[in-house]
Structure formats: C-alpha cells, structure tokens
Amino acid sequence: MTSSIAFPHAAKKRWKVKYPKRFVREVASTLDEFAPEYRGVLDAASSTMIKFLQETLDHWSQRGCVPRRDRQMFRKTKIVEALAFWAGFNIAGGLLPPSIPHVEVPDLVMTRFQSPLPKSSGIAVVIPIGDTSQRIENIITCNLQTLAEHQKISTVYLVFDGVDPVNMSLPKLPQGKISELEIHPRSGPATARNAGVTAALRDNGTTGTRGVLFLDSDVSISRASLDSLLEECRMPPGIMCPRILAADTTWLNRYHDISGTLNGRYLLGDSGKQLLFGTTSCMFVPRDLFDEGIAFSTDFRDAAGEDIDFCLRARLAGYPIAAVDHVSVTHDYGYAGEGTADWTAFKARFRRYGAGEWLLLERHPWYYHALGKSIERI
C-alpha cells in the first residue's frame, strides 16, 4: 500500500510522490524515538530527497550484509544518519538535492608509482592530536610503544592541534623516535597532518623517508597489523588503507562496521581491490605524492572530507589507492553505551560529515558521479 499523506509534523505539507505507508510510519517513528530535532529537516526535504532515502534503505536491504537481528535497528539508524548528514550539508551552505552538473568523471586509472627507494629508508608516522582526554592518552600510549619498537619506523610525529602536550603523560621512549609539534590556535587535522609531513621530509632528507603512515589519535594498531601493513610498503605501493573496525561492540559501533563508515569505497569492476578513496584513520602515503606538492587542503577545518579530497586529487595525479583488506586496525568512536549521549555524538559526527561534503562537492563537482561507479567497502 502507498500513501501520499504528509509525514507527521510536516506543517500541512503533502508529498507529490506516493510512498509506502510502512516507510512513512518508519521514518516518523524513528524521528520520534531518536531525532525529534530533525523534524524540520524532514519537512524541508524535497520529494527527491525523500525518494533517495527510501532507495538508500532498499539498497542496504539488497546488500544482504545486515544480520537479520539487526535489520530493523539498522534501518532506523540509517534514517538518523541521513537526516543528520542533510542537516550538516544545509548548515554549511549546500542545498539538497545538490545541483549535480552533467560532467564526465575524470580518468582515475593509476598511471604513477613510487620511485625506488633504499630498503633501509624508514617510514614516518604522523598522529594529529586534538583531544588530550584519558581515553585518547591510553590509545596513544599503547601505539607509541608499538611504533617506537619497530625497526621500520623512523620517527613518530605527535602534532598537538590547539591542545597542550603537558596535559598528557606519555611513555619515555628512545630519543629521536618521538617528535612533538604544537599548533596554536587549533587549525584542524588537515593542517596538523601537513605540519607532520613537512617535519618528516625535513628531518629525514631527500631519500630517508619511504613514506608517511597517518594514524588518528583514536585508532589502535597492533604489532601484528603494523608488521603486515609495513610489509606491503614496497615499490610500487601507492596509497594503502587497511580495514577500520570498531573497538567496541555496542550497537552504534557495530553499525559503523556494517556500513563501512571509515573504510572508503571500492571502485566497481576492479579486481585488484582499488579504492575510490580511503580515510586517514590509518593510511600509508608514499613520499612521491608529497614531493609533487599534493597536501591536505586546509580549507577543510574539521575532520570531514579532507581525506576524501586528498585521495581524489591523488587519483587524478595517477596514484593508486589499495584496499589492504587482510590488515585491520581498531577505531574508538567514543561511544560509552546505548544512551542519549551516544546518539548525540553519532548525530554530531554525521552533521560534520555533511558539512564537509558540501565543500567536497564544491571542489569536485563530478564526485557523486564517481560514487555511482563505486560501492561500500564492508
């Protein structure tokens, strides 16, 4: 059965397109339960966007990756995600549905590779830090012990972005292995990563760094995963992205794993597991790319879209982005349980992503066309 009635709270608005009554009830009840503040976002949404939401839910039903016991909750969470994303996109200045020009997707076929470097050359690690909470301190402490002991790691650059290093009690490690940089005022992860790269290339000379491993401060990497990832760092690797898995098993953590939130997207029709883009939660980048002047755009002030923009420009320059699926690291999303605070953090995350996507589309008008040639990495 279908319904052309307005969604509840839609202020005398009637939709031009008929929707299944079950879908109408599902969206309305989800708002009531998890996101009543987005009723206005739904009211303002065009028929095109409502239809897109319905098709998104259908797409995930057809993917077959959602466990049966989670299907109803997954759909509700996907609705909240979409509305939070739309809210962020609108607040940043975008209009939904966005105007998507009829442009051809640029050639994204890899054409360049890393130049040969001495096997003895090390790998620098850059960790932007914008939070000095105990949770983050514990993660960084464990990572530093793993990284500092590894013979292939030359230096770990801790880039404190608008926060004071003295607020963290980090372990004493071999001199020269750890370098601390400070940025004031807070400038965002793009600026922090660029500062770390500049220091790494300066400190290690023209041939002393094979590349840079970016690691977010809320991501944990084991010795086994580090060994496996660095084993792949040989000519010609291009950019490499392991799998990002949630560090906990509460619902919102599992939702990110099922959706592949931080894992980028596979390019369709590519048997070599190439990605359209990955994320800097954990990403290895060969130094050739930086030598060509490709850096993170500081126009992205938040952790949202800057890594996708970086990857798209790398692909345009001919660099491959490999999905290193046999290696995984864990991401701490910061959810404490199943309460209101977790849902508030979840919605804030996707509002931020939506705001970043507005700028991403400004830079790459063909981006949505490219998304149509890719699929979730789950």
How far is residue 101's CA from residue 28's CA, in Å, rounded to a whole number? 32
Side chain identity, residue 255: Y
How far is residue 153's CA from residue 215's CA, in Å, rounded to a whole number? 13
Residue 223, SS3 per DSSP: helix
pLDDT-based confidence at residue 44 (cuts at 50, 70, 90): confident
The predicted pLDDT at position 93 comes to 86
The predicted pLDDT at position 145 comes to 93
Domains of the chain in start order, with CATH, are 2-92 (no CATH), 122-376 (3.90.550.10)
Give pLDDT tens digits for 197-239: 999 998 876 556 889 999 999 999 999 999 999 988 765 668 9
The predicted pLDDT at position 12 comes to 39
DSSP character string of 99-117: -----PPPP------PPP-
Query: Please, are residues 329 and 281 in contact by the beta-carbon 8 Å criterion?
Result: yes
Which tops the pLDDT comparison, 16 or 250?
250
For the chain, give the mean pLDDT.
89
Q: Determine if the pTM surpasses 0.85.
A: yes
Nearest to 263 by CA among 283, 289, 286, 237: 283
The predicted pLDDT at position 104 comes to 73
